[in-house]
């Protein structure tokens, strides 16, 4: 039996050598950390002034843009937030789902049927009305295995979609789905059926005509795309929440992080999201505000559980004792001090402190203790060979791990992890890969042993796609029957108190398991030109859903 659900809701590139990284004075990190407090306290001097119309906001992206919502790469998402809407979206203040294209909704008593009532008068950028047929098409498309959307796991529980009338749609789930609204708020952009139905596309073949002229319902509509240089959107005069204040937004492709910092400092860009190593170059710039936000992001070291892809490490990584030993070997607090320079939280799982309603404070972390790590590996049969490298059954504990090239914080974290593991007798070899190649082996071929990377997650405790057996985002191949069971129980539970108890149990267990080695949750630094106003008080991924409220002074 399930709990009764609520009846209704309303609406120059930074580089660092390995030697420098490990000998760096900790005082530098402490000095920068001291700056964190005033960043968050900056107020808008013109907050009381009336917003003005006009102006073009210039935002950097670090790679070429493909404006196709099923692809969840960050440069695409930044543009998609301007051109598309979801049924619901996160409220910036607390990340609670609120109305977007759906003005209200109800959940059936058995928790299986969600009825969404759509806003009247919403139109696509080409003038066609937005209707329940578009919702049905979009949900079914995201759930289609052939499309292989990053959201497929979120929609896998959907059993069917029924169009009741042009402004009413029912979504029926196979089992009660308590997190459905939270997951719908996360990049589930609605798509135009009249432009896409009947076309054949899949994980690698996209609708080219749509990419040349994407059409959404959002506050900005397509204007121009010069691949590799910029993507421009212009104000949608017919936007259902009123014309945005800005005339246009230009997403400028700037591949080098230092060039981004220079351009926001000189005013060529209006905002940027620098690394902590770049803050010193921006500090004191009179035209900029520096703001620090907690975000939905966890950094980790993870290995491939699939022995057919990673025969040696995959076999050993299946042992919780080995995973916990690696956790004790990694100096997470040192990484926070030296790499994140204090602008991060120690991670005890995938839920960050920024998601205050669901963060599990009591979930364990594993302190840096290399001697304990050595003992744990000894207890499961590893012995040091003549070269000092641990071995078991005649096989050396040796592997290669990767991260994406050109990301200083991830590269530097990987260097620390490499040295930490070598300190306990693990022959860990680090290789940074070009981003396209990295994502290919991570998400498609699965031909890797391990990597240091990150995940930006939805604002929900329901991360079943990442951790359930065969979850669509479970790139490690992790499988645990107890974790699977707890996710299913939580999904069937609508009572908040009971949901909290289940997720507390689940994420405590996941932390004990060290399904991956959780390292830290970074803080996001936002460098915003002081002429920009109305920027929502949240991480930039969610802030971009409210671009229609942003305005510029002069």
316 and 437 part of one domain: yes
Residues 336 and 449 placed together within one structural domain of the fold? yes
Per-residue confidence band for 31, with pLDDT thresholds at 50, 70 and 90: very low
Round to whole Å and give the CA distance between 182 and 499: 14
**200: number of Cβ within 10 Å:** 7
- CA angle (157 as vertex; 156, 160 as ends), nearest 5: 95
CATH number of the domain that residue 111 is part of:
3.90.76.10
Region 377-388 average pLDDT: 97
Q: What is the pLDDT of residues 426-468, one digit of tens each?
A: 999 999 999 888 888 877 788 999 999 999 898 999 999 899 9
Residue 44 has pLDDT above 70, yes or no: no
Helices (H) and strands (E) in the chain, counts: 21, 24
Q: Which ranges of 318-369 would DSSP assign to H, the alpha helix?
A: 320-329, 332-338
In a domain, 484, yes or no: no
532 found inside a domain: no
426 to 288, 351, 381, 389: CA distances (angstroms): 45, 29, 14, 6
- Contact between residue 516 and residue 476 where contact means Cβ atoms under 8 Å apart: yes
> Are 433 and 339 in a shared domain?
yes
Q: Which domain holds residue 137?
A: 65-211
Q: Is residue 481 part of a domain?
A: no
Residue that finishes a domain, picked among 457, 481, 508: 457
Residues 183 and 330 in one domain: no
Span 44-55, average pLDDT: 72
Predicted pLDDT at 94: 87
Domain-terminating residue out of 163, 194, 211: 211
Lowest mean pLDDT among 14-28, 150-164, 301-315, 396-410: 14-28
Which tokens in the block code for residue 433? 């890969």
Taking each helix axis from N to C end, the angle separating 320-329 and 370-379, rounded to the nearest 10 degrees, works out to 160
For residues 304 and 207, membership in a common domain is answered with: no
Res 48: pLDDT: 53
Residue 250 confidence (pLDDT): 98
Beta strands in 440-508 (DSSP E): 450-456
Q: Which pLDDT score, from 0 to 100, does residue 150 have?
A: 82
Helix, strand or coil, per DSSP, at residue 262? helix
Both tokens assigned to 149: 């959307």
| pLDDT bracket for residue 499 (50, 70, 90) | very high
Q: For 115-119, 223-227, 462-466, which range has the lowest pLDDT when averaged over its residues?
A: 462-466
Q: Tokens 């790139």 sit at which residue?
A: 475
User: Chain-wide mean pLDDT for the chain?
Assistant: 89
Range of 46-50, 60-64, 95-99, 414-418 with top mean pLDDT: 414-418
Q: What pLDDT is stored for residue 87 in this prediction?
A: 98
Structure token pair of residue 176: 């009660």
Check whether 515 has a pLDDT greater than 50: yes
Residue 25 lies in a domain: no
Query: With 50 as the cut, is the pLDDT of residue 10 above it?
Result: no
Q: Are 192 and 87 members of one domain?
A: yes
| Separation CA 303–CA 515 (nearest Å) | 9
Q: What percent of the chain has pLDDT over 70?
A: 91
Q: Worst-scoring range by mean pLDDT, 39-43, 155-159, 369-373?
A: 39-43
56: closest CA among 92, 86, 82? 82
201 alpha-carbon distance from chain centroid: 25
pLDDT, position 65? 92
Residue 391 lies in a domain: yes
Q: Are residues 324 and 426 in the same domain?
A: yes
**DSSP H or E stretch at residue 31:** helix 26-33
Same domain flag for 188 and 322: no
Sign, CA dihedral 179-182-187-190, equals positive
- Shared domain check, 307 and 190: no
Q: What whole-number distance in Å separates Cα of residue 259 and Cα of residue 263?
A: 6
Provide the token pair at 469: 């057996």
Q: Which tens digit of pLDDT belongs to each residue from 279-327? A: 999 999 999 999 999 999 999 999 999 999 999 999 999 999 999 999 9
Assess if residue 525 is contained within a domain.
Answer: no
The alpha carbon of residue 8 and the mean position of all alpha carbons in its chain are separated, in whole angstroms, by: 29
Across 109-123, average pLDDT: 97
The answer to the question of residue 359 being in a domain is: yes
Q: For residue 217, is it within any domain?
A: no
Q: Where are the beta strands (DSSP E) in 363-494?
A: 383-384, 390-392, 395-396, 398-404, 427-433, 450-456
Residues 429 and 325 in one domain: yes
Judge if 198 and 93 occupy the same domain.
Answer: yes
**pLDDT confidence of residue 71:** 84
Task: Assign residue 428 the CATH number of its domain.
Answer: 3.10.105.10
Are residues 204 and 304 located together in one domain of the fold? no
491 and 312 in contact (C-beta within 8 Å)?
A: no
What share of the chain has pLDDT > 90, as a percent? 76
Q: pLDDT, tens digit, for every residue of 259-270?
A: 999 999 999 999
Rounded to whole angstroms, the Cα distance separating 530 from 539 reads: 18
* 457, 491, 519 - which closes a domain: 457
> How many distinct structural domains can be found in the chain?
2
**E strand or H helix at 292, and its extent?**
strand 288-294
The stretch 108-130 carries a mean pLDDT of 97
pLDDT, position 481: 97
**DSSP H helical ranges for 65-207:** 74-83, 132-143, 152-155, 180-184, 193-196
- 36 pLDDT more than 50: no
Which token pair is 88?
A: 């619901």
């Amino acid at each position: 039996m399930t709990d009764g659900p609520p009846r209704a809701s309303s609406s120059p590139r930074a580089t660092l050598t390995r030697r420098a990284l490990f000998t760096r004075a900790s005082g530098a990190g402490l000095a920068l950390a001291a700056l964190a407090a005033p960043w968050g306290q900056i107020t808008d001097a013109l907050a009381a002034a009336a917003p003005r119309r006009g102006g073009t906001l210039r935002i950097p992206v670090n790679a070429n843009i493909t404006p196709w919502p099923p692809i969840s790469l960050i440069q695409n998402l930044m543009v998609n937030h301007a051109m598309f809407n979801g049924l619901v979206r996160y409220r910036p203040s607390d990340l609670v789902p609120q109305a977007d294209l759906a003005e209200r909704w109800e959940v059936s008593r058995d928790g299986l049927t969600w009825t969404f009532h759509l806003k009247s008068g919403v139109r696509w950028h080409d003038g066609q009305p937005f209707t329940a047929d578009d919702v049905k098409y979009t949900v079914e498309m995201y759930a289609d295995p052939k499309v292989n959307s990053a959201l497929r796991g979120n929609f896998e529980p959907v059993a069917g979609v029924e169009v009741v009338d042009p402004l009413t749609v029912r979504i029926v789930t196979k089992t009660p789905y308590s997190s459905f609204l939270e997951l719908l708020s996360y990049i589930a952009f609605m798509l135009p059926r009249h432009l896409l139905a009947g076309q054949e596309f899949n994980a690698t073949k996209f609708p080219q005509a749509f990419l040349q002229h994407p059409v959404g319902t959002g506050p900005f509509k397509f204007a121009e795309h010069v691949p590799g240089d910029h993507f421009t959107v212009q104000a949608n005069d017919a936007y259902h929440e009123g014309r945005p204040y800005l005339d246009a937004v230009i997403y400028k492709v700037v591949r080098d992080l230092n060039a981004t910092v220079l351009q926001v400092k000189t005013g060529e860009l209006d905002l940027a999201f620098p690394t902590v190593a770049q803050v010193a170059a921006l500090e004191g710039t009179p035209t900029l505000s520096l703001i620090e936000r907690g975000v939905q992001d966890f950094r980790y070291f993870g290995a491939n559980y699939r022995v057919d892809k990673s025969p040696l490490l995959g076999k050993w990584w299946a042992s919780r004792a080995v995973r916990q030993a690696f956790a004790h070997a990694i100096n997470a607090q040192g990484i926070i001090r030296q790499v994140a320079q204090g602008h991060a939280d120690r991670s005890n799982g995938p839920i960050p402190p920024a998601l205050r309603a669901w963060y599990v404070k009591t979930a364990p972390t594993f302190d840096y203790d290399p001697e304990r790590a050595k003992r744990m590996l000894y207890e499961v049969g590893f012995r040091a060979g003549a070269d000092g490298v641990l071995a078991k059954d005649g096989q050396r504990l040796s592997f290669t791990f990767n991260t994406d090239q050109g990301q200083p914080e991830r590269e530097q974290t990987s260097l620390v992890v490499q040295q930490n593991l070598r300190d306990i007798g693990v022959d860990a070899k680090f290789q940074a890969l070009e981003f396209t190649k990295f994502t290919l082996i991570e998400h498609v071929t699965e031909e890797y042993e391990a990597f240091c990377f990150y995940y930006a997650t939805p604002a929900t405790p329901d991360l079943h796609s990442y951790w359930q057996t065969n979850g669509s985002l479970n790139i490690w191949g992790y499988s645990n029957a107890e974790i699977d069971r707890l996710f299913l129980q939580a999904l069937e539970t609508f009572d908040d108190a009971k949901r909290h108890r289940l997720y507390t149990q689940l994420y405590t267990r996941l932390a004990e398991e060290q399904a991956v080695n959780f390292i830290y949750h970074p803080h996001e630094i936002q460098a915003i030109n002081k002429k920009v106003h109305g920027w929502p008080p949240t991480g930039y991924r969610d802030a971009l859903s409210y671009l229609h409220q942003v305005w510029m002074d002069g």
